[in-house]
Amino acid sequence: MQVPSRDELAQSGTLEDLYGKLGRIGIAPGWAKSTPSLWPAPRRHFAPAHWKYEQARGALDAAGRLINTELAERRNLILFNPASTNSYGTVRTMVAAYQMIMPGEWARSHRHTPNALRLILDSEAGTYTEVDGVKIAMEPGDVLLTPNWSSHGHGNDSRANAYWLDFLDVPLVQLLEPMFFEPAEEAGEAHASNSTPPTKESPFVFPLSQTLKRLDAAAPTPTGYFGTSVELGNPAMDTIGLHMMRLVPKGKTAPYRTTANNLYAAVKGSGATTVDGERFEWRRGDVIAAPAWLPHFHEASGDALLLRVTDEPVMQRLGFHRVAGETPAAH
Ligand SMILES: [Fe+2]
């Protein structure tokens, strides 16, 4: 196909003539786009959604019989958002997954640029994550971090299956492109067992016992956006903020609408979260997705704890964080 010269472009007699020539050199007229590039407010892409631990646990128990940690880098179940255009993420920037390891198993060590964290759901003493060579004990309600490029593997020296929720910023890293992944050991390679007992003395863990003490000391704000809430870390990771929320029986939080994406995981109790008019009744271990700009609020049937996992740090750092009803900060 002949490339039009400057003179040939300059002498275009009609818009159609010009469009035809531009099409041959990879340029499009901005005034004649079929879809707009800008719109007045965030569009709804990802859907409100709810995933149940009870179902995931059944599926993981089957997976425990059907696949082992030699074959699977991780035995996990990805919570993909049901939006029609989506095939992976739980919300635009983050993905969540349920994971299980069985007694005696070792989920081999690796590292990657995506930031990851896990919320422990059920485990017994002897279950741990090894982060950069340090074994960190995993107990129910604990939150463990494995930030960008930290090596991590998971071990279970207890007698019970261990279950947890993973949250990662993989969709964001895929979008921005800086993806790197490196195995620390090959499949089938014997794991050099570290005989030291697991510890909680690490900047990579927020033990539930400490988080509860901080919640007890916090001024109660049951009808705020997040009930009574404390932040884990400041923020916990560059791209993901973590907040433990305490909800009171029959309490209802103020409706919240933000440009940030929020995932809520039930750490304790039961209740309901309404996202853009859809009401989801949750129990311990369940996950609710409140994608960007969809208004949502929470109610609890009894004392309840929710872990809020949010891309707020990304939105704040880039100047894109807005909350409906609040004046946006000028940049
Ligand atoms: Fe990982």
pLDDT tier at 192 (50, 70, 90 boundaries)?
low
How many other CB atoms sit within 10 Å of the CB of residue 104? 11
pLDDT in tens, 224-271: 999 999 999 999 999 999 999 999 998 899 999 999 999 999 999 999
How far away, in angstroms, is 113 Cα from ligand 1 center?
A: 9
| Structural domains in the chain, sorted by start | 1-38 (no CATH), 49-207 (2.60.120.10), 209-317 (2.60.120.10)
How far away, in angstroms, is 253 Cα from ligand 1 center?
A: 34
How many other CB atoms sit within 10 Å of the CB of residue 130? 22
* Cα atoms found within 13 Å of the Cα of residue 22, Cβ hemisphere only: 13
pLDDT on residue 194: 74
How far away, in angstroms, is 88 Cα from ligand 1 center?
A: 16
How far away, in angstroms, is 263 Cα from ligand 1 center?
A: 19
pLDDT on residue 141: 98
DSSP state of 103: T
pLDDT on residue 331: 60
pLDDT in tens, 115-160: 999 999 999 999 999 999 999 999 999 999 999 999 999 999 999 9
How far away, in angstroms, is 282 Cα from ligand 1 center?
A: 27
How far away, in angstroms, is 48 Cα from ligand 1 center?
A: 26
How far away, in angstroms, is 243 Cα from ligand 1 center?
A: 22
pLDDT in tens, 67-108: 887 788 899 999 999 999 999 999 999 999 999 999 999 999
**Distance, CA of 41 to CA of 307 (rounded, Å):** 28
